Amino acid sequence: MKIKSLYIAASLSVILSSCNNIAEDDRYIDVEATKAERTVLLEDFTGQNCVNCPAAHRTIEALEEQYGSHFIAVSIHAGHFGIPATNTRYTGLMQEEGQAYNDRYGVEDYPQGVVDGKLPVLNADQWASAVYEEISRTTPLTINLAAELNSDNMIDINCSLNSTEQLDGNLVVWVIESSIVARQEDATGRIPDYVHNNVFRACVNGLDGDKVSLAEGRALNETYSIALKDTATEKWSPDNLAIVAFVTNKSGVIQAAKTNVKINN
């Protein structure tokens, strides 16, 4: 049996995350390989005190309208413009894990973004061309993703990976949340009730995720769970949560997927 367990530190609180017990033979299923359609991941490094960031958010909205489900944006609050999620005066959206990603890429100016995990870091006016270039590339990988909030306030996640060729990489799983009403500085002044979307909330399986090895015609199934967060300074709204999963290697993000969290009534 394979058992995965980890603790996720998010500011001052700790979230338990674990992989369900799955027999090694049951994690792989023989399937017929199908052609995969590429989905592109944009990591948007932003901050609530960044006056230029709302314009970048509008760029994201335009890309979402253009590409639909084939484009995923995750807004990672970080840097000197970010407000920590532990802040007791304002609703803050910056996570320690998000800051760790920020530092890895060396982001110092905001807003900036990384498309499919590839350097260099790009300004918002460069995102559209980079997304177009990435979405035009082929990928051997398909990711099928499902997530559900159970009666114990745990988010159960199932991720199935299927590749048309031998592939090694890391599977990374994140929690994101939309429709968060919180302050945001803007070029026209402070907006106290700004609606923040696609906000990075937590890593489910660590900053680097889990190593995966795929062979043609064999689907790999991974399951995880993470507790719904409800603290004095950070409360996740189940109706607005989504899970993002992607596989990455030295060449960048190979494929990404996103699913809303289903609420088990």
- Residue located via tokens 């994101």: 176
How confident is the model at residue 265, as a pLDDT? 67
b/e for 1-25, b at 16 or more Cβ within 10 A?
A: eeebebebebbebebebbbeeeeee
Summarize pLDDT for 205-244 with one digit per residue, the tens. Answer: 999 999 999 999 889 999 999 999 999 999 999 999 999 9
Residue type, 55: A
Q: Enumerate the H helices of the chain as residue ranges.
A: 53-67, 96-105, 127-135
The CATH number given to 2-263 is: 2.60.40.10
CA pair distance 79, 46, nearest whole angstrom:
8
Phi first, then psi, for residue 71 (nearest 5°) are -135, 130
The C-alpha torsion from 240 through 245 and 250 to 252, rounded to 10°, is -50
- Joined tokens for residue 156: 């159960």
- Joined tokens for residue 131: 């997304």
Distance of CA 25 to the CA centre of its chain: 28
- Joined tokens for residue 114: 């990384």
DSSP assigned state of 232: S
Q: Kindly state the average pLDDT of the residues 69-75.
A: 98
Q: Give CA separation, 264 vs 150, 154, 239, in Å.
A: 5, 10, 11
Closest CA to 64 of 44, 80, 78, 36: 44
DSSP assigned state of 37: P
Instruction: Assess contact for 163 and 232: CB atoms under 8 A.
Output: no
Instruction: Assess contact for 94 and 83: CB atoms under 8 A.
Output: yes
- Joined tokens for residue 141: 């990988």
Q: How confident is the model at residue 21 (pLDDT cuts 50, 70, 90)?
A: very low
Summarize pLDDT for 169-202 with one digit per residue, the tens. Answer: 999 999 999 999 999 999 999 999 999 999 999 9
How confident is the model at residue 14, as a pLDDT? 32
| Peptide bond just before 111 cis, omega within 30 deg | yes
